[in-house]
Amino acid sequence: MKPNILIIMVDQLTGTLFPDGPADFLHAPHLKALAARSARFAANYTASPLCAPARASFMSGQLPSRTRVYDNAAEFSSSIPTFAHHLRAAGYYTALSGKMHFVGPDQLHGFEERLTTDIYPADFGWTPDYRKPGERIDWWYHNLGSVTNAGIAEITNQMEYDDEVAFLANQKLYQLSRESQDAERLPWCLTVSFTHPHDPFVARQKYWDLYEGCDKLQPEIGFIPLEEQDPHSQRLYHASDYPSFDITSEDIAKSRRAYFANISYIDDKVGELLDTLKRTRMADDTIVVFCSDHGEMLGERGLWFKMSFLDGASCVPLMIAGPNITAGNHDTPTSNLDICPTLCDLAGIDMSAIAPWTDGTSLRHMIDGVERHEPVLMEYAAEGSYAPMVAIRDGRYKFVHCEIDPPQLFDLESDPAELTNLAEDSAHEQLVAGFASRVRERWDMARFDADVRESQARRWVVYPALRNGSYYPWDFQPLQKASERYMRNHMDLNVLEDRQRFPRGE
């Protein structure tokens, strides 16, 4: 029997807080217990440091230049296979509870069922515009209000969503456990995708209280003035509307405290899911994947949110546990692009038919102790950028290229804070030239730029047109058949009560 798969995805959780599972200071007992039995990937990266591009790449194993999901309002094509398609074709039941930020009329992308709607819109309204560099689109662009308004609340839009995501996911696990008692049951893949610890930086009191006196409430690298930042970080200052906000040390401390508190909130949700899995006797047959779409700068260097190739925004946790998974920490750089091929490999599914167009590679050999040699690739072409950016992480080095910016090269072993750009030092000229050559071999940057501009221009025509007159939303609407729930008069009560019980009566 193929293994069941439980994917727990969170939003905007930086991998810098997961050096080998959760950092010691985090109150995350359930994630720490999961880490102890997981293959842990300490240098794992997003494919693109923004929600929709990152998630399309996570599901497909393809970079944004292939998926054409360049930003948070770019359509994810129905013809691109995802891990949900691969698993479903192999006989798996596939379901999603929570966020995946699919844009376009296809809101399933291989999932047989979605239990919730999404938290963010599915239309083209959040399209950036390279024709107007530096223009802020105030009604949806991130600004620093999340930082100045940080604090305590018992319910928010984000909490209401994640409470629902967890409740329906646990309900689904109970249903799957009941079906597991049938001889012909299908293996399943349930993806549970939370929106926390994504800003706003607001947390429930009981989680906030866990971080009273925490010594991590200020960034390790303090504020860097605008004129001393690299060109892209300068653009991010403007994109987040820094001049309109006076960010105090107290604002920073509250934001970081709420962020840590929301990791603890997520930890409780993870604990619920894993406890249900154990009590329904499915844990021994289930692979558990814990991951995040992208990271969070969290005030380091004065930067917030994502949209950067700096490790705070681009490095993300990845842990895989389950049958035949050897626990241990892996320092070799890996990518969320690798998750799709890894899931297929662990489920015994052949991806060779689309391997030439897949950018990720299976991590199964790494888990089994065989070293990986492929570099990690990243792309970014959304708000805060004026032209597409690409990055290569290979061994100890990270190289960042953009046609309108000077190159950046960091040695993450000697300079984990990425404060020294080696590309400015002539002693590293040959190394920089080598990376630049690899960029030219891998990417046609002029074509990439033209493709992004074409996509944006098309959507700037389509979106206002579709909002004019009769409007049909693409947002996913979960449907439930009330006539098939609980007890109805076309059912035999004796059969129903036995069927809905786990374990069944003697």
Tell me which residues are annotated as active site.
51, 101
Residue-level length of the chain: 506
Assess contact for 231 and 423: CB atoms under 8 A.
no
Residue whose token pair is 């700037």: 460
Assess contact for 365 and 39: CB atoms under 8 A.
no
Q: How far apart are CA 442 and CA 250, in angstroms?
A: 45
Q: For residue 322, give both structure tokens.
A: 């389950």
Identify the three-state secondary structure at position 426: helix
Q: How far apart are CA 132 and CA 85, in angstroms?
A: 38
Assess contact for 71 and 331: CB atoms under 8 A.
no
Q: How far, CA to CA in Å, does 472 sit from each of 261, 266, 294, 476?
A: 38, 34, 31, 12
Q: How far apart are CA 501 and CA 285, in angstroms?
A: 20
Q: In 3D, which of 19, 56, 11 has the Cα closest to residue 311?
A: 19
Burial of 460 (0-12, 13-18, 19+ CB in 10 A): middle
DSSP state of 109: T
Burial of 145 (0-12, 13-18, 19+ CB in 10 A): middle
In sequence order, the 6+-apart residues with CB closer than 8 A to the CB of 447 are: none
In sequence order, the 6+-apart residues with CB closer than 8 A to the CB of 427 are: none
User: How much is the CA Rg of the chain, to the nearest whole Å?
Assistant: 23
